Chain A
Amino acid sequence: MSFDRLRESWQREGPPAAGPGPTEEVAAVKERAAEIDRAVRRRDRIETAVALALLPIFAWVAWATPHPVSAVGSVILALACVVIPVRLRMARRRRPDPGLPLAQSLRAELGRIRAQDRLLGSVAWWYLAPLGAGVILFMAGAPVAPLFKVGYAAVVLAFFGWLLHLNLRAVRRDLRPVARELESWLADLDEAATIAGDADAQ
């Protein structure tokens, strides 16, 4: 079969006869999109509700506690209740337009992956360190036995260290290979453009 005849053969294969028609497909996709939107809105509402519920508690403790160290911890935790959900929500919004040309879309996707890489790579500074410090300081000023405070701090540090490890592992295992793959595809596209440019110039 000649290369040009491949086209005819390819286009003979239409949609399955038994499958749903376009009208049913449109109705189904509308319903699915609405379901996904509802799930996302639910998740966002839960996150916001938790943050809004905790914020006044920490703010009140910061104001009412006689222990300055606990007050500092409470302020940090109250601030985290605002900053972390906002930062997460902003990060989720960065989605490239699916209607971009392939080359542009791959570049946008690479940009998004690199932004995620930076976000997770710096998670220690904007998420774990302030939250961990807040949680430890909150208890450090409380009137409990010093040995308990030390044990508590050790457990919190170990837990946040584990979270940091998981985040950095996700960067290493998930994001970096995807970024490398995207870079290789983009290099492939650039190479073709260069060859075509050379051919045009000759």
Chain B
Amino acid sequence: MSREETLLALLTAYGGALRRIARTYAGARGEEEDLHQEILLQLWRGLASFRGDSAPGTWLYRVALNTALTWRRRAGRDARADSARGGPPGQTTGEPRSEAAILEELLASLAPIDRSVLLLYLEGLSYQEIGEVTGLSAGAVGVRIHRIKRSYEDRYLEGGSR
């Protein structure tokens, strides 16, 4: 399969995931498309040296997250993005929030590594697969997910942890 065909197959299978990753890590709305383009560029370049040591999906998530983390770090976008999202995480305005808004807020409230772990969990990856993408053990991924889950329940569900 040529590089072009491989990328096409990856985009067909994971196009939605790449968009969601770009949206999660983009500092401001206008940057989402730029980050998406950067991820595609890194995938294209990376495919030239991809030897199939890992599953294509695992490799794609690695490239996408590494690119997104570098993107955020380079321009110090975290602070600006969080302030642009309006107020500290968990702040309530009295109006019911959509699931998407809660998810966005939850992700924005997390440190970059936890954000990556949660994002992969939301994408439907198993702890083992998340470990392969991040370099953490499945146990370490489980610990993180458990912590995030507790924090989510304390913050968003009435009555706190259950």
User: A residues engaging B (CB < 8 A)?
Assistant: 1-3, 6-7, 9-11, 13-16, 19, 22-23, 25-26, 28-30, 32-33, 36, 96-106, 109, 177-178, 181-182, 185, 188-189, 192-193, 195-197, 199-200
CA A30 to CA B111, docked complex, whole Å:
33
Q: Are A16 and B19 in contact (CB under 8 A)?
A: yes
List of A residues within 8 angstroms of B111 by Cβ: 185, 188
CA A11 to CA B43, docked complex, whole Å:
22
User: B residues engaging A (CB < 8 A)?
Assistant: 4, 7-8, 11-12, 15-16, 19-20, 37, 40-46, 49-50, 54, 59, 62-63, 65-67, 69-70, 73-74, 76, 99-100, 102-103, 106, 111-114, 116, 121-124, 132-137, 139-144, 149, 152-153, 156-157
Q: Are B66 and A14 in contact (CB under 8 A)?
A: no
CB distance from B146 to the nearest CB of A (A): 10
List of A residues within 8 angstroms of B44 by Cβ: 26, 29-30, 33
Q: Are B139 and A102 in contact (CB under 8 A)?
A: no
List of A residues within 8 angstroms of B152 by Cβ: 3, 6
List of B residues within 8 angstroms of A100 by Cβ: 62, 66, 135
Q: Are B37 and A32 in contact (CB under 8 A)?
A: yes
8 A-B pairs besides A22-B8, A30-B44, A102-B65 with CB distance below 8 A are A11-B122, A15-B19, A26-B8, A29-B41, A99-B50, A104-B135, A196-B140, A196-B141
Q: Are A192 and B144 in contact (CB under 8 A)?
A: yes
CA A1 to CA B16, docked complex, whole Å:
22
A interface majority secondary structure: helix
Q: Are A7 and B139 in contact (CB under 8 A)?
A: no
CB distance from A109 to the nearest CB of B (A): 7
Q: Are A6 and B122 in contact (CB under 8 A)?
A: yes
CB distance from B120 to the nearest CB of A (A): 10
CB distance from A142 to the nearest CB of B (A): 45
18 pairs, CB–CB < 8 Å, chain A vs chain B: A1-B99, A3-B153, A6-B106, A11-B124, A14-B15, A15-B15, A16-B19, A22-B12, A25-B40, A29-B44, A97-B49, A99-B49, A99-B66, A100-B62, A100-B66, A102-B113, A188-B113, A189-B136
Choose one: B11, B19, B66, B121; the contact of A105 (CB below 8 Å): B66
Q: Are A103 and B149 in contact (CB under 8 A)?
A: no
Choose one: A29, A33, A109, A192; the contact of B136 (CB below 8 Å): A192
For the complex of A and B, list the 8 residue pairs with the smallest distance between their C-beta atoms, beginning with the closest.
A103-B135, A101-B135, A196-B140, A196-B139, A22-B11, A10-B122, A14-B16, A9-B99
A13 in contact with B100 given A29-B37, A98-B46, A99-B59 (CB within 8 Å): yes
List of B residues within 8 angstroms of A197 by Cβ: 137, 139-140
CB distance from A18 to the nearest CB of B (A): 12
CB distance from A43 to the nearest CB of B (A): 18
